[in-house]
Amino acid sequence: MNNVAVFDSSKVYASTSSTWLTAAEVESLMVTIQSAYLTWNVTTPAVQEVLAATWSALTDLWVWLVKNSLGWGAVASWGGTGWGGTAADTLTSLLLHWDNVASPSDFLDSSASPKTVTAIGNPIQKSWYGNFNWTAWNNISIPDSSDFDFTSSNWTIDLWLYPTNISAYPWFIGQLNNTDKNWCAYIHVNGAIAVWVSWLNEIKSADWVIVNNKWQHIAIVKNWTSTTIYVDWRNVASATTSVWTNSTYPLLIWGFLSGWANQYFWWYIDEVRISNTARWTSNFDTNLPTWHYDNDANTKLLIHFDWAWSAFTDSSSSNRPITPSWSVTQSSLKIGDWAIYLNWNTSYLSIPASDDITFWSWNFTLETWMNPATVSWWQRIFSQMWSTNSDRSIYLAMNSNKIHLWISTGTVAAFDISFPFNTSISANVWTHIALVRNGSTISLYVNWVKDSVTYNIWTTAIRTSSSNFGVWWWDSAWEYFNWYLDEVRISKWIDRSNWTTFPVPNSAY
């Protein structure tokens, strides 16, 4: 009651951008927030943390705020450094949360000494959404209904999509059966988006309003006789051309009823909604959809994609049956709302060699959550080696359901210690693994249970390598990891397997 906040109008932040905040503006915003508090005499702990926070902590807070405002699952607490969470300790050499929602293809090290993390191929950070692989002709099907008669009254179809291949005319929603003159919405080969009545009429945007490898919001609005397509809340095409039919075929998401494999959508979708009202009649960049859509009287179909794997639910009052075809899945994450997805063909992360990842003869802990698509072939989990020059130190891999370890010691640039552990690893199941050295003993813990195999390394030092440290990779393409990974942590000078001192990890490190 005795603290009085002094408001300084010069510390009000104003964006100079009409759309998204740039990186510079995010920094300026955080500078403004901190400077605003400098004239306050409020002594509560929260305000004092603002004053004492580092710039990285403030920008981490911003990412957390964006992540929660965008939804796709609730986050219980923010685990950043110096802001009400557990501080990253000085023993942590590498800490990868995979939750950079602002830029899913950029990977951040949250340790006290952040390393540069280079993504090779197409690894991305993922949250909950539908996963469609066009090569298997994936789609989900909802029976036809009078609620899908878009020839009458006003309607809105809106959703988020993340395409990775727009060179093959992918169809993302419609009731078209090959050449039967019914409607669909699709992405043109040159990045345009269109609503089409097959072989008759079309409303189409300019080129490259849709791009690969980016989340974009799509809204197709029928307002009486006019149909408007919005991409990221901006009108990109509008006309009175007749593009709607009252089809009797099922409503298909990301596919249509012919066998043209090249016209199935490829990759991710979230928050599909159909409404019997024109929800927007002009650019709506000041009224953005930023949370799970709520069901209301106008909602006729609502798919959140928030249920594990192939169990799909319509969250509208209609509760329509939804049938997935082939291998349509929903992402299931382990810690928080984001994880990394790696396609074994090309995807991995590379971190420059440093003293923080040189283990020598000290204690260390390498740990992660993993969810492999297969456990039957060689897949590298961690590795520091390069096959062409034999500059080798350590690598941990999986084959035939078992974890295998290789170590190079002394000055020999080859592996002179190698052995498998006994615990079996299952495919499509989240499993926590921790490789630890404590004095002379190297052990593996699988879901916090110590494997029956241990190795007595005595006082032998693990060889120092100048090779990059790879996460799920080395330089042989056939040993890339495939599927999901969450919460990678490398700790030096400490064996974290004492779960009394270091509790079982069930939240962000």
Give the pLDDT of residue 181: 78
Least confident of 265-279, 375-389, 468-482: 468-482
pLDDT at 204 over 50: yes
Give the pLDDT of residue 218: 92
Top-confidence range, 5-9, 22-26, 496-500: 496-500
The band of 102, judged by pLDDT with boundaries at 50, 70 and 90, is low
Q: Which two tokens stand for residue 241?
A: 């051309």
pLDDT at 20 over 80: no
Q: How many CB atoms lie within 10 A of CB 158?
A: 19
Q: What is the spatial distance between Cα 191 and Cα 165, in angstroms, rounded to a whole number? A: 10
Decide: helix, strand or coil at residue 62. Answer: helix
- Are the beta carbons of 486 and 335 closer than 8 angstroms? yes
Q: What is the spatial distance between Cα 343 and Cα 347, in angstroms, rounded to a whole number? A: 5
- Tell me the one-letter amino acid at 277: T
Distance from chain centroid for Cα 369: 15
Give per-residue pLDDT as tens, 325-345.
544 445 555 555 556 555 545
For 92-126+335-492, CATH gives: 2.60.120.200
Phi-psi region for residue 126, left (φ > 0), alpha (ψ -120 to 50) or beta? beta
Distance from chain centroid for Cα 346: 17
Averaged pLDDT, 462-479? 71
pLDDT at 407 over 70: yes
Q: Kind of pairing, strands 339-342 and 171-174?
A: unpaired
- Tell me the one-letter amino acid at 162: Y
pLDDT at 394 over 70: yes
Q: Which two tokens stand for residue 132?
A: 């469609």
Averaged pLDDT, 215-232? 93
pLDDT at 69 over 50: no
Q: What percent of the chain has pLDDT over 90?
A: 16
Q: What is the spatial distance between Cα 159 and Cα 251, in angstroms, rounded to a whole number? A: 15
- Rounded to 5 degrees, φ, ψ at 28 are -65, -40
Choice between 180 and 155, residue whose per-residue pLDDT is larger: 155
Give the pLDDT of residue 286: 62
The band of 312, judged by pLDDT with boundaries at 50, 70 and 90, is low
Choice between 398 and 63, residue whose per-residue pLDDT is larger: 398
Residue (of 473, 436, 431) closest to 335 by Cα position: 431
pLDDT at 23 over 60: no
CB proximity list for 149: less than 8 A, separation 6 or greater: 246
Q: How many CB atoms lie within 10 A of CB 140?
A: 23
Averaged pLDDT, 474-502? 69
- Rounded to 5 degrees, φ, ψ at 479 are -120, 30
Give the pLDDT of residue 375: 79
Least confident of 125-134, 171-180, 391-400, 476-485: 125-134
Give the pLDDT of residue 91: 63
Using CB atoms within 10 Å of the CB of residue 446, give its burial: 0 to 12 exposed, 13 to 18 middle, 19+ buried.
middle
Residue (of 141, 226, 230, 224) closest to 177 by Cα position: 141
The band of 49, judged by pLDDT with boundaries at 50, 70 and 90, is low
Mean of the per-residue pLDDT values of the chain: 72
Give the pLDDT of residue 392: 84
DSSP for 372-402, written as a single string? ES--SS-EEEEEE--TTTT---EEEEEETTE
CA torsion through residues 332, 333, 336, 337, sign:
negative
pLDDT at 479 over 80: no
Alpha helices, DSSP H only, in 258-407?
none
Q: What is the spatial distance between Cα 473 and Cα 484, in angstroms, rounded to a whole number? A: 14
Choice between 264 and 183, residue whose per-residue pLDDT is larger: 183
Least confident of 47-56, 247-256, 483-492: 47-56
Decide: helix, strand or coil at residue 214. Answer: coil
Beta bridge partner(s), residue 166: none
The band of 383, judged by pLDDT with boundaries at 50, 70 and 90, is confident
Averaged pLDDT, 136-159? 80
Using CB atoms within 10 Å of the CB of residue 458, give its burial: 0 to 12 exposed, 13 to 18 middle, 19+ buried.
exposed
The band of 199, judged by pLDDT with boundaries at 50, 70 and 90, is confident
Q: Where are the domains of the chain?
A: 9-70, 92-126+335-492, 130-330
Looking at 2.60.260.20, 2.40.10.500, 3.20.20.370, 2.60.120.200, the CATH number of the domain 130-330 comes to 2.60.120.200
The band of 67, judged by pLDDT with boundaries at 50, 70 and 90, is very low
Q: What percent of the chain has pLDDT over 70?
A: 57
Q: What is the spatial distance between Cα 127 and Cα 119, in angstroms, rounded to a whole number? A: 18
Alpha helices, DSSP H only, in 112-181?
none
Phi-psi region for residue 168, left (φ > 0), alpha (ψ -120 to 50) or beta? alpha
Residue with tokens 């179909």: 301
Q: What is the spatial distance between Cα 485 and Cα 501, in angstroms, rounded to a whole number? A: 25
Q: How many CB atoms lie within 10 A of CB 429?
A: 11
Averaged pLDDT, 359-372? 86
Averaged pLDDT, 141-145? 83
The band of 37, judged by pLDDT with boundaries at 50, 70 and 90, is low
Distance from chain centroid for Cα 271: 15
Q: Which two tokens stand for residue 424?
A: 């079996």
Decide: helix, strand or coil at residue 204. Answer: strand
